[in-house]
Structure 1
């Protein structure tokens, strides 16, 4: 499946926006992850995340943010943090009606990002 068809299969921009809202509700309710967002401008972060996810799935949006390693360097995220974030995203996709096969495809797009996000011990 091509990247653009992944974006289209998810449902495009409206679906990505809905998934981002579901996702942040889960992340902010997670006692392990929520502290990383205490001082975050959540509306700005959600807008940024919509663009990032859309671009990662092959949508027409261009990601113009900092490199992931730079953006996450000061957060001291662990592998467990990353895995929980991906789990919350997968659950959000499922709640938005995305099928398991497509969620697996999306997860394969995200897995290589772990080394850029997680701070080495």
Structure 2
């Protein structure tokens, strides 16, 4: 069974992304990153990315993480907060902690591609 299947497949990914964005746009430390962004489009990309990252069907065809986040000035603290919000969203949806830890481990290597403030990347 893939991680995608164990968390509940497409309905779980859709719910997780919705809950995740509810949290990040409400976070005063992160909200600025989403100002003026087409959230519906971003959520669609995030659903495709997350589904692919956890072994779901299909493939993510969006921009590379480096290209998608270039120029945004994302700090290590912001990256950590985003991962924490995703974990909290998954917890809210009843995803067991071992699966959340596996998802976080899948995302951790992306830090180097996303964080621009290299002083915060350690």
Normalising by the residue count of structure 2, what TM-score does the alignment of the two structures yield?
A: 0.94
Does the alignment pair 1:15 with 2:12? yes
- Matched with 1:80 is 77
The alignment covers a number of residue pairs equal to 118
In 2: Cα distance, 1:120 partner to 1:34 partner: 18
Shift >3 Å, 4+ stretches = none
Gaps of 5+ in 2: none
Whether 1:114 and 2:115 are equivalent positions in the alignment is no
The CA deviation string for residues 44-94 of structure 1, in whole angstroms up to 9 with x for no partner, is 110110000000001002100111011101101000000000000000000
Instruction: Please provide the CA RMSD for this pair.
Output: 0.9
TM-score by length of 1: 0.95
Query: What are structure 1's unaligned runs of at least 5 residues?
Result: none
